[in-house]
């Protein structure tokens, strides 16, 4: 989705300036990908910690609820590591290859033989 539009933005000083819109379809840099993976890992491990605390707090209330929180707290580290080691999916690129014309789209000549006179 390429675009050549530009949107005005205000500087802290109050002056307006035009900031160009990104028109490339390049992948995010490796540093940005790594930061996103670290963020997902920290969020997942935070949910794990909350589920383990919830398991400890719900032990007296319901054993089944405590078991669900404990299992979640046990499985989430594996999920966090798999998500942290995964990279974004590659973009699907359409390769423009030659395809012969369909039979219903070919031109037909009146005769089957071609004669070239010299």
Question: What's this model's pTM, rounded to 2 decimal places?
Answer: 0.54
pLDDT of residue 97: 76
* Helix (H/G/I), strand (E/B), else coil: 38: helix
pLDDT per residue as tens digits for the range 65-85:
999 999 999 999 998 888 888
pLDDT of residue 92: 73
10 forms beta bridges with 16
pLDDT of residue 1: 44
Q: What is the mean pLDDT of the chain?
A: 77
- pLDDT above 90 covers what percent of the chain? 31
């Amino acid at each position: 989705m390429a675009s050549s539009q530009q949107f005005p933005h205000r500087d802290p000083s109050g002056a307006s300036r035009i900031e160009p819109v990104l028109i490339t379809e390049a992948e995010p840099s490796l540093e940005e990908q790594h930061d996103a993976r670290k963020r997902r890992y920290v969020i997942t491990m935070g949910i794990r910690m909350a589920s383990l605390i919830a398991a400890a707090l719900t032990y007296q209330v319901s054993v089944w609820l405590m078991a669900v929180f404990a299992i979640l707290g046990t499985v989430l580290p594996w999920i966090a590591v798999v998500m942290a080691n995964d990279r974004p999916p590659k973009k699907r690129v359409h390769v423009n290859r030659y395809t012969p014309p369909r039979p219903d789209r070919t031109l037909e000549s009146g005769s089957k033989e071609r004669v070239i006179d010299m």
